Amino acid sequence: MSKVLKVGIIGLGAIGKVHADAYSNVEDIEIGALCDTLPDRLQEHGERLGVAARFTDYRELIKSDVDAVSICVGNALHREVALAALENGKHILLEKPMAMNAAEAAEIKQTGEKHGKLVQVGMVRRQTTEAQLVRDMVERGLFGGIYHMRAVLIRRRGIPGLGGWFTTRAESGGGPMIDLGVHHFDAAMYVSGLWNPTRVSAKTYAKFGRDMRSYRYTGMWAGPPKFDGVFDVEDYSTGLIRFGSEATMSFEIAWAANTEEESFIEFLGDKAGARIFDKGPLTLWTEHDERPADITPKYADLGNPFHTQARKFLAACRDGDPPAATAEQGVTVMKTIDAVYASSENDREIELS
């Protein structure tokens, strides 16, 4: 009989609940402990999940008998909680973004290696059916050489929690670039296999959120607005990333913009191209029988990507399988995001080391 992985969840907000539901749908995983600073929320989820071990201080949870923890707290706490968990002998599934910046991410990676503990980063979008299918096609050479990618995620009016921690740089690390761009950057590099970003030229803007009372929106994740709060992050970013002389990636990532909403990653290869995440049917733009052809492949749905992520975390912790998203990859993504902000602030291209 396979060993059951006993997992604790630190942070029971929206994403913590998603982790809990995923673990509840995966065999050989037991939710052994919960932690949240809000006693009412802790009690609600403890009763719903049937978990008796409940803590309001994460330091107490990581001293318990769980084998691993999901870290689902605010961005500013990722480093602190991750280091404490690893130093207490726990494997970790660390929600995105990996940390506030690349230096913190590298410290988490090094601490995991020092203590021989697994660090899996919560880059769940790479677990979607489309991303897995296109990655397989790329690896089998059906795209030829990938030479350009386009990463676009634009919300018309989608600033989350205006005036709260999302829009406060000291708590979030940035705006849509670190909130949403982290997913698109990771998925693009994962699917293409291009993990060597070398130069970044970018610009960020804050055109909507700074004048909070005049900002018009139709809905607000993590709202309502806190007009006495802070908005010191970007709401739009754009730029170009070079992967040596091999390839490039342009990007537009926005919480708010006067344009239609879009979301996709496009891969251009010399044999084929495709888009993922655009909500339409996956189409391979290629050639067939010596003619240009659009091919719509039939494929099985891999199911809920959070469930897939949980199963891969189990296999990595218990069986030594590679984690679904490695700490090294997480550091690379954070280095790229750091370079976006540095390029905009310094008005020049940034070279990645």
- List phi, psi (to 5°) of 26: -120, 125
Q: Supply the CATH classification number for the domain 5-125.
A: 3.40.50.720
Type of residue numbered 41: R
- The reported pLDDT for the residue numbered 2 is 61
CA angle 40, 44, 61 (to 5 degrees): 80
The per-residue DSSP string of 137-158 comes to: HHHTTTT-SEEEEEEEEE-SB-
Type of residue numbered 78: H
Buried b (16+ CB within 10 A) or exposed e, 149-180: bbbbbbbebbbbbbbbbbbbbebbbbbbbbbb
- Write the burial class of residue 6 (CB in 10 Å: 0-12 exposed, 13-18 middle, 19+ buried): middle
pLDDT in tens, 71-125: 999 999 999 999 999 999 999 999 999 999 999 999 999 999 999 999 999 999 9
Residue with token string 């926005």: 254
How far is the C-alpha of 123 from the C-alpha of 302, rounded, in Å? 16
- The reported pLDDT for the residue numbered 1 is 37
pLDDT in tens, the chain (353 residues): 368 999 999 999 999 999 999 999 999 999 999 999 999 999 999 999 999 999 999 999 999 999 999 999 999 999 999 999 999 999 999 999 999 999 999 999 999 999 999 999 999 999 999 999 999 999 999 999 999 999 999 999 999 999 999 999 999 999 999 999 999 999 999 999 999 999 999 999 999 999 999 999 988 999 999 999 999 999 999 999 999 999 999 999 999 999 999 999 999 999 999 999 998 999 999 999 999 999 999 999 999 999 999 999 999 999 999 999 999 999 999 999 999 999 999 999 999 98
Going 34 to 171 to 106 to 241, the CA torsion angle's sign is positive
How far is the C-alpha of 156 from the C-alpha of 274, rounded, in Å? 24
Fold match between 5-125 and 128-305+334-351? Answer: no
Type of residue numbered 301: D
How far is the C-alpha of 123 from the C-alpha of 96, rounded, in Å? 6
- The reported pLDDT for the residue numbered 353 is 84
Q: Does domain 128-305+334-351 have CATH number 3.30.360.10?
A: yes
Type of residue numbered 149: M
Domain boundaries, the chain: 5-125, 128-305+334-351
